[in-house]
Chain A
Amino acid sequence: MTATLIWILVALVAIGLYLSWTAGRLDRLHARIDAARAALDAQLLRRASVAQELATAGVLDPAASIVLYEAAHAARQAVEEQREVAESELSQALRAVFGESQQVDAVKAAPGGEEAAVELAEAVRRVPMARRFHNDAVRAARALRRHRKVRWFRLAGHAPFPMAFEMDDEPPAALIERAA
């Protein structure tokens, strides 16, 4: 009788430890998503700021300036639900404006343009990186959260179900080609 009780107790403790370890894993994944999302936000903001700066600097022709300014402004102002669309539109605007390498050269030739072009090139390169890292974390967390043990024991607590950030982040070709 006592032996059975002890075994039941041992089993319960083992299950408890396992669940606590799983909750720890999940907690770490949520922290990873938060960090990745913050990094993605930072890169998106940086991209929109440089784009807006370039649009108002007078180095581009008026039509290109307006297109770029509109898109950058909309991306910065977008509310959460429209963020993905607005950022995708900024990507398209950047591709339209910086589709030709002559345009990039023209920006670089302007005073202070070299730095602006480098910063924009860095930003358009890092946005897809940050987005992949974010969505990778989201996928890992979703896989774990769908598991029975997590759902039955409500290990995720009140954390919202993680969502991937989907957008068109294709960088303008002329900006990222770095022929030496």
Chain B
Amino acid sequence: MRIGIVCPYSWDVPGGVQFHIRDLAEYFVRLGHEVSVLAPADDETPLPPYVVSAGRAVPVPYNGSVARLNFGFLSAARVRRWLHEGAFDVIHIHEPASPSLGLLACWAAQGPIVATFHTSNPRSRAMVAAYSILQAALEKISARIAVSEYARRTLVEHLGGDAVVIPNGVDVDFFARAEPEPAWQGDTIGFVGRIDEPRKGLPVLMRALPKILAARPQTRLLVAGRGDEKEAVEDLPAALRSRVEFLGMVSDEDKARFLRSVDLYVAPNTGGESFGIILVEAMSAGAPVLASDLDAFAQVLDRGAAGELFPNEDTDALAEAATALLADPERRAKLSERGSAHVRRFDWSTVGADIMSVYETVTAGAAAVAADERTTGLWSRFGPARD
């Protein structure tokens, strides 16, 4: 099958959506499909053979922050050329509602279009205003995929219609087979994520730490992720600061070893998560998971059966649960076992097959993807009839 995938975010900036697309593309390439990914990228960045650059993304203020987006005449022309040259059986657009490549591709293409909605953005005012424009483009999508039940609910609320839920994929065995690192074992709590992004929840964990250390002084907190390390420990009493170790940015291999080694993985995120891939990775590595009870997390953890949940932002509850878990190796072993079994449904072999069923369902009996002549401009309307 000839598959075209549209990535809305810069290929050179690491991010969840980009990794998802990379893994998906490589999974299909391994199965012998022809895959082409259209993504914004600097011209100097080395790209894998299946990625086509759509030009550099421009930083513009959008939705309360600066986003790097692709739009305008040149990008639209590149999308068109890619569609024309690719002659795809199906195109898979990620984040079609963000004003970037996804929306452009949606606008420019016709035929079987599959779209995945990753984030569960609260409805923005711009989106309400642009609703009718957006609707005309979004109604071309033949199949919508949401990454979680939670993301599906927001999608249905904001745009109407329906979607199937297919979770993000993880290479479970890559994490399950990683070699544990002895230096990271023994009464350790692990955290992976940006240090200076408050929604990742490190401050919550830092506030809970004194209580955990009061009960179990031998505990160490290991933090993997970039950000200002000094600022992160500022509120911690000076005597306790030595119990926190910063590992900085870690490679994929080290992340897997890290998750294999820690005695407890804590995800204190306070919001803004629509899936929680890190929890799946932690469970794949067999780490017992303790997470805040965000909707998305509760779903990934099977309502608390595959990992423990604590009330969001409740530092006392977090400290209590963490102390109890660290003191009870049997309970941790049980969580780890249940997590490892639960996580199989997020493996690429399952997720990839589901996405392929979506492709096959929408392409059955449909014509291939082509550039949509109707949107090339008003003049085409006056030209000679095409069909």
Interface residues of A (CB under 8 A from B): 17, 20-21, 24-25, 28-29, 32, 35-36, 38-39, 42-43, 122, 125-126, 128-130, 132-133, 135-137, 139-140, 143-144, 178-180
Contact = CB atoms under 8 A, between A and B. Distances in A.
Interface string B155-186: 00000111110000000000000000000000
B260 interface: no
Contacts of B161: 136, 139-140
A38 B365 contact: yes
A143 B161 CA distance: 10
B350 A178 contact: yes
Contacts of A17: 378, 381
Contacts of B139: 25, 28-29, 32, 140, 144
B218 interface: no
A63 B358 CA distance: 35
Q: Is the interface of A mostly helix, strand, loop or mixed?
A: helix
Contacts of A28: 110, 139-140, 374
A17 B380 CA distance: 11
B136 interface: yes
Contact of A129 (B164, B345, B365): B164
Contacts of A125: 354, 357
Given A36-B142, A179-B344, A132 B350 contact: no
A39 B365 contact: yes
A137 B142 contact: yes
A80 to B, nearest CB: 19
B368 interface: no
Contacts of B381: 17, 20
29 contacts: A21-B374, A25-B136, A28-B139, A32-B139, A32-B140, A35-B366, A36-B142, A38-B365, A39-B361, A43-B361, A126-B357, A126-B360, A126-B361, A129-B143, A129-B164, A129-B358, A129-B361, A130-B361, A133-B144, A133-B164, A133-B361, A133-B362, A136-B143, A139-B160, A139-B161, A140-B135, A178-B344, A179-B341, A180-B347
Given A125-B354, A126-B360, A144-B139, 4 more contacts: A24-B374, A28-B140, A135-B162, A140-B161
Contacts of A32: 139-140, 142
A33 to B, nearest CB: 10
A143 B361 contact: no
Contacts of A39: 361-362, 364-365
Contacts of A180: 344, 347, 349
A140 B113 CA distance: 15
B93 to A, nearest CB: 15
B97 to A, nearest CB: 14
A136 B139 CA distance: 9
Nearest to B358: A129
9 nearest CB pairs, A to B: A136-B161, A140-B139, A133-B143, A180-B344, A132-B162, A136-B162, A35-B366, A39-B364, A38-B365
B377 to A, nearest CB: 11
A25 B133 CA distance: 12
B160 to A, nearest CB: 6
A36 B358 CA distance: 12
Contacts of A179: 341, 344
A42 B365 CA distance: 10
B374 A35 contact: no
Contacts of B362: 35-36, 39, 133
